[in-house]
Amino acid sequence: MSVILGDRMKDSKRQAATDYYMKASKCASEYVEQEARKILVEHPELNEFVMAMGSWHFSWKVGATDDKGIVIEEYMNNVILDGEIEFIDDSDLAYFMAEWDSVLKITGEPMRFTAKGKMRRDW
């Protein structure tokens, strides 16, 4: 009897841990969206936030001038790389991702949006 009860205890603890992990992941995803939208609103020269497959980045708007004074003329070369823009690297979003992505695998959840646009999860 105690073996069966012990297995149920293990299963209930496993389920509780899974539930906590899922709640933490959901909260993290919501926080990432909130902080990314805040950056997009504060910096209208940015086009969108994209996160998927283990990475995240912002992109410049076509016609905007990047941090080096170059006008962005096409979507092909408008991605902002890690370490390229100080206001992104010093953001709460960057610090949060550095601390929690390895634990919660936040960047494994696809999301893409503009400052006021609808979130897309499949593209």
Are 121 and 110 contacting, i.e. CB atoms less than 8 angstroms apart?
A: yes
Percentage of the chain lying above the pLDDT 90 cut: 59
Q: Which residues contact 9 (CB under 8 A, 6 or more apart)?
A: none
The answer to whether the Cα torsion of 32, 37, 43, 47 is positive or negative is positive
| Mean pLDDT of all residues in 25-52 | 96
pTM: 0.81
Q: Which residues contact 83 (CB under 8 A, 6 or more apart)?
A: 89
